[in-house]
Each structure stands twice: as structure tokens, then as C-alpha cells.
Amino acid sequence: MNVLITGAKGFIGRNLVSQLRNIQSGKVKNYNVSGELNVFEYDVDSDSKKLEDYCKEADFVFNLAGVNRPKDESEFKKGNFEFASTLLETLKKHSNSCPVMISSSIQAALDNPYGESKRAGEDLMFEYARETGARVLVYRFPNVFGKWCRPNYNSAVATFCHNIANDLPVQVNDGSVMMRLVYVDDVVDELIGALSGDEHRDGNYCFVPTVHEIELSKIVDLILSFKKDRESLNVPDMEDPFTKKLYSTYLSYLPKYGFGYPLKMNVDDRGSFTEIIRTSDRGQFSVNISKPGITKGNHWHHTKNEKFLVVSGRGVIRFRDMNTPNGEVIEYFVSGEKMEVIDIPTGYTHNIENLGKGEMVTFMWCNECFDPERPDAYFEKV
């Protein structure tokens, strides 16, 4: 299948091209795209002669080319209507009635220059379908967000993510505005589905099924919380689909030398203990480093429970049931060469000893974050 993408260097175009390339190379196989896939990329700086070749060979066209922030309003018509007209005329010239998709906007329902240019492009497509019998797919996208979207252009989400990640001010004129948003990966999945006729359709128009509606002020608050989370070691609620997608988007706007952030290492003569992540509902994640011959622990818990995973070095984790005085000591020998998670049950005093010649590194999870007011840890030698 030969797939032509116009506006291939734009926001949606780049994301669509990259995933089609992944399909083409066999890196992903979860799409219903059969046969050999060839991707033709066309953009404003492409040789116009290429459009002739591509329109002759294309089996499907994604027309993502368009203008939404021109220097002059006349560019709306040139970018959103005239190019679409040229594209369709070129297809007709080569008697190619392959399916054609066009990216319109919810603003096509409004009487402004941008909306009027988009609506004219839609009408052109519908007329083309009546004339040629070609299958046309008109998508009136709401606001699309995700990685590779240009900030300070036409996306409030991109602008907020960029500015907050780079310590720049943000301006919200009316936080009560309700935003209707679609995530770029959901858009790409929908468009790739359309290749095999699996698009979602309502009458003349196609749509992306997953739309998020959220107040503008809440979007800003979420992004600000993402920035603070790096200091508090918290992570967002990934069970919420919008939060998950917005967080992925935010991270893509971090400055190139701002990916890392420091952690507080609690160091003593035994080694170190460092918290990595603290969550309100999934507990705490930490890394423990023990020097050779060092034993840590010798305590037990009422409700607190943990998981230990030695990732480097070798050692032994010992347990004794507090309900059995002078009871059996249970030993689990652990090593980074054969990684195994060891649960630390309540009511068992326990310790971990480094048996190796070098440092032993243990990844630890606890079901609750450490609270110095209620530590739930009671000293008792194993």
C-alpha cells in the first residue's frame, strides 16, 4: 500500500509518519495493515513535481497540510483550500480515486476566516466524492495535544507545557473555559485504522472516539503539579487517562539539560538509603546500598510491608516470626545474578546482610511512605 501524507512535517503528520515507519519496519504489529507499506512524505518545502508522482501511485491520501496561524488572513484560503483543490485535481488527472482523508477543525462550524477556509475544504471534498465516487474521510478535530506540537502557536497545552517546563510565565485569561482535547496517539491510531476501513464515522464526518473535556485552569494546575512532583518524589495518577497523556506530553517539553533531578542520599558508614518515588496510594520506592559485611534491619512491622530485590551483589535476608519466641530463623539467599523479589510479611522481624566483597544494591518497595510520626518499625534482632 502506498500512503501519501501531505503536511508530513507538521504536528500530526510527524506523529503519523513515525508510526507508519514503525509498521513499515516491523517494529509494531498491532495494526490491521496488510501488505507492503510505502510512505510518501510531502510538505510545503517539497518539490512540487513529487506531488504528481505521489498522486499517481497513492493508494490512500492523508491530507494534513494546512494553515492556522498565517501572517495574513488570505493565507487561510491558500493553505486550507487551494492546496486541497490542487491535490484533488492532481488525483483526478491520474484517474486515481483512492480514499482521501482531510484534517478539518471544529472551527469549521464557526464564521471566522479560519473556519470558513476549513469549511470550504470540506465542501470541496464532498463534491469530489460525488464526482469521482472516491471514499472521503473528513475529520473535524478538536484541540490536539501531544509531543512535537509547536508551543506559542495554536495549542494552549503545548504552550503551557513548554513554559512551565522552562520556568516561563503562563497566562490564563479565563480558566473556566472548557477544553475539548484529543491526544495525538489516539489520532494516529484512528487514522491508521482508517487505512483498512475501520474509521469511526457519524454521517459525513469521521471522528476520534476518545475526547477529553476539562477546564483550562485544571489543565494548568495539573502541569504545575507535574513540575512540583519532581521535588516531592511523587508521580501523577496514571489511572486517569488524561493525566497519563498530559504527563507524557509535559515531559517532552523539558529542556534538553533538564531531564535529570537530584535525590537526597542518606549516607552513613553502613552505606546509603535513597527514596526514589513516593505515592499516596502505591507506596514508596527506594534503593538501599550496603557495604560488605553490613547487616541492616533487625526490626518488624504491624502493618507496613515491603518487597526487597537485590540487583547487584549477594546477600541473605533472614526472618523470625515474632509470634514464636526463639523460633526458627528463615534464610533467603539473594543475588543480582538471579534476581528474585522477597516479600517482607508483617509480624516477622527481619534483616538483610551483605555477604559479598563489594557493595550490595537492593531495590525496595514499601506499601506506605515513611511517616516519622508513625514509623511502624520496632527493633528486634532476628
**Phi, psi angle pair for 108, to nearest 5°:** -65, -20
Angle at 348 between CA 264 and CA 376, to 5 degrees: 45
Q: Show Cβ contacts of residue 359 under 8 Å, excluding neighbours closer than 6 positions.
A: 271, 289, 290, 291, 292, 312, 313
Alpha-carbon distance of 11 to 300, in angstroms, equals 54
Which residues, in sequence order, are CB contacts of 203 under 8 Å at separation 6+? none
**Is there a catalytic annotation at residue 114?**
yes
Q: Residue 207 in contact with residue 140, Cβ under 8 Å?
A: yes
Is there a contact between 216 and 172 (Cβ–Cβ < 8 Å)? yes
Q: Which of 31, 114, 247, 348 is catalytic?
A: 114
What amino acid positions are annotated as catalytic residues? Answer: 114
